[in-house]
Amino acid sequence: MSTTVLREYETLMARANPSSARPPLKWAGGKTQLLNDLIRKIPKHYNKYIEPFFGGGALFFAIHPTKGVISDSNPEIMNAYRVISMDIESVMRFLQQYDNSEETFYRVRSMDWTKMQPAEAAARTIFLNKTCFNGLYRVNKNGQFNVPFGRYKNPKIIDRAVLVASSEMLKNATIVCGDYKHVLREHARPDDFIFLDPPYLPISEYADFKRYTKEQFYEEDHIELAREIEHLRKSGCHIILTSSNHPLVHELYGAYNIEVLQTKRHISCNGNSRNGEDVIVSIPPARQLSIYLAPSPQPRQLSRYPSTRFMGSKSKLLGQIWAIAGQFEFDTAADLFSGSGIVGYMFKTYGKAVISNDYMAMSATYAKAMIENNSTTLPPNEADALLIKSGNTDGFVEKTFKGLYFTDEENRLIDVLRANIAAIRDQYKRAIALSALMRACAKKRPRGIFTYVGERYNDGRRDLSISLQDHFLEAVHTVNGAVFDNGRENRARHGDAMTYRGGRPDIIYIDPPYYSPYSDNEYVRRYHFLEGLARGWKGVEIQEHTLTKKFKSYPTPFSTRMGAQDAFDKLFKRYRDSVLIVSYSSNSLPGLDEMVASMSKHKRHVDVVPVDHRYSFGNQRSGEENDNNKVKEYLFVGY
């Protein structure tokens, strides 16, 4: 190299900025015109960049990854990139020998690159690429380059700035010549980003340059590529694929996002046939959920939530539910069937914005007091005052439920509390007081349910000997202790989950009533007295002929197998853009396979995590003697 050229090279090396590198080769079918659309689809964080159909490398040179593996099955092209990265000064020295003449072109074209030293072969490749027709790469059946002279007036054979910047950038890459399958199996690892730009379908004028190379790529090859992509997806790789807008592409990748773009073709001599349609297929990695749900410490605040024997409460499954939910990045969570409210409260303790919903007024009241409420408590003196009669009461409980659940004195106290609580203006204080009254009534009842009268299940436990007044004051203290501010706006809703239209939270937790021929999911029948307290017995129809004076159950689609199946399908469809976590009992209907099939229609990935679970009291009449309440709980995860 002459002194002048050496100085120029050293100056360029000093100024080289890989971020401004451009492809050193022209490439038919290159992705320059798709760069903006491709770049916005690239994951924000990934391990290394892999491109096994490298060609001109437009995307690689545009995003300049710090770690990369680039590959192609064309040995001549990969030799050029390898030498550019290692010995760019020699390449430029050989390039200086060539001029843009037809005579030189055909003389150089006739040379056998395999018999040249690598730097001279790389210079030949660059020279032919810059001066041949349309930068096309094509060889004949004997493997000889046969693209004609391009007749350009002033092609830039030596673009020193581009070559030096490309050299610096290629130094960060592993450069491989080989079959794409071998390269991917050797180098792809979870969290890598893989860009695939295989030869397009159909084999046409646009793909003529592939007809006479070893890289023949037909429909069966695209089908095999799709299998490789599925393996990569399941292993945790991020994948973007470009192709022509061909029916087979939609057939193979219809489950993923396919964007169709109008593009210009630069090969055809016929200007009328230069318009085309390309597609970009975005294939996210399969999330690797931990099936082994290791216990982890829970926030201390979570232990302050009032204990409950509420039927179906998931208090014993909180560790498993969070072990799954915690694997996702999310900011908002909705508990559509809140029941005892413990799951929504758990999300609140982890700093999430929570929407708690239930069709039972009692559940919505608990959520209002302890999930939506961030700061208000009911002072002890105000709680004491609620126990004192301050005006007339309607005597509804004393008259309607006389001799059924509580003593006459306790019924009168309940009516006094009802009247005083209704007069509280602050919605959160009112919710705390009403929650405390319901909790006091439940704790004074053996088993906490109202499906029988009298004291059939009185086992002498402490709760049954404490006065209703003391139970109420203790409950106020307990509910107050559960109030805290997580810095988020949380909301409690009383309504049907099927009618909720409050946006699309990041995570949807679903724990609906289970339909089963072996179990009783009649929440209203079990808790009608507490539900009546929450509603003031307004809008309900008491069935006077019944011994328990229950009221008619609310209509719910989960009362029948077909209704439950249809409801699940509607919910999965509505929240197809959210992460779905569904708690479900092993003896409920629809069954396991039906649930997976239903969720799979709307979610790309569905995992099932079985958890051994024992309910607080037997309600699962499975037919197994002495083991009625032992079942397997399924946690379905759709994402």
Q: How confident is the model at residue 427 (pLDDT cuts 50, 70, 90)?
A: very high
Residue whose token pair is 């007024």: 361
Mean pLDDT of all residues in the chain?
Answer: 86
Give the CA distances from residue 593 to residues 304, 399, 570, 610, 634, in Å, rounded to whole numbers and listed in that order: 38, 50, 17, 13, 12
The strands making up 579-585's β-sheet, listed across from edge to edge, are 491-494, 353-358, 332-335, 507-510, 579-585, 630-638, 606-614
Lowest mean pLDDT among 96-100, 125-129, 310-314: 310-314
| DSSP state at residue 517 | T
* pLDDT > 90: percent of the chain: 60
What pLDDT shows up at residue 206?
39
What pLDDT shows up at residue 525?
86
Residues sharing a CB contact under 8 Å with residue 41, sequence separation 6 or more, in sequence order: 240, 280, 282
Stretch 466-485: mean pLDDT, rounded? 97
Element (H, E) at 358: strand 353-358
Please state whether the predicted TM-score (pTM) of the whole model is above 0.95: no
Adjacent-strand bridge partners of 389: none
Q: How confident is the model at residue 265 (pLDDT cuts 50, 70, 90)?
A: low
Stretch 24-45: mean pLDDT, rounded? 86
Lowest mean pLDDT among 14-23, 136-145, 173-182, 277-286: 14-23
Stretch 256-267: mean pLDDT, rounded? 78
Query: Is the per-residue pLDDT at 625 higher than 70?
Result: no
- What distance in Å separates the CA atoms of residue 281 and residue 279, rounded to the nearest whole number? 6
Backbone phi, psi, residue 23, to 5°: -55, 130
Name the pairing type of β-strands 193-196 and 238-244. parallel
| CA neighbor of 447 nearest in space, from 462, 460, 434, 458 | 458
What pLDDT shows up at residue 5?
46
| DSSP state at residue 565 | H
Each residue of 513-565: pLDDT tens digit? 877 655 556 778 899 999 999 999 999 999 999 999 999 887 788 878 888 89
* pLDDT > 70: percent of the chain: 87
Domains of the chain plus CATH, in order, are 16-86+164-283 (3.40.50.150)
- What distance in Å separates the CA atoms of residue 374 and residue 396, rounded to the nearest whole number? 33
Neighbouring C-beta atoms of residue 303, cutoff 10 Å: 11
Residues sharing a CB contact under 8 Å with residue 278, sequence separation 6 or more, in sequence order: 34, 242, 243, 244, 245, 260, 261, 263
Each residue of 149-194: pLDDT tens digit? 998 888 999 999 999 999 999 998 999 999 999 999 999 998 899 9
Each residue of 271-310: pLDDT tens digit? 444 567 899 999 988 776 665 566 678 899 999 999 877 7
Residue, of 363 and 5, whose pLDDT is higher: 363
| DSSP state at residue 495 | S
Please, what is the angle between helix 427-443 and helix 408-422, to 10°? 170
What pLDDT shows up at residue 12?
44
What pLDDT shows up at residue 623?
39
What does the CA dihedral 595, 561, 586, 321 come to, rounded to 10 degrees? 60
Each residue of 560-582: pLDDT tens digit? 888 889 999 999 999 999 999 99
On whether the CB atoms of residues 338 and 344 are closer than 8 A, the answer is: yes
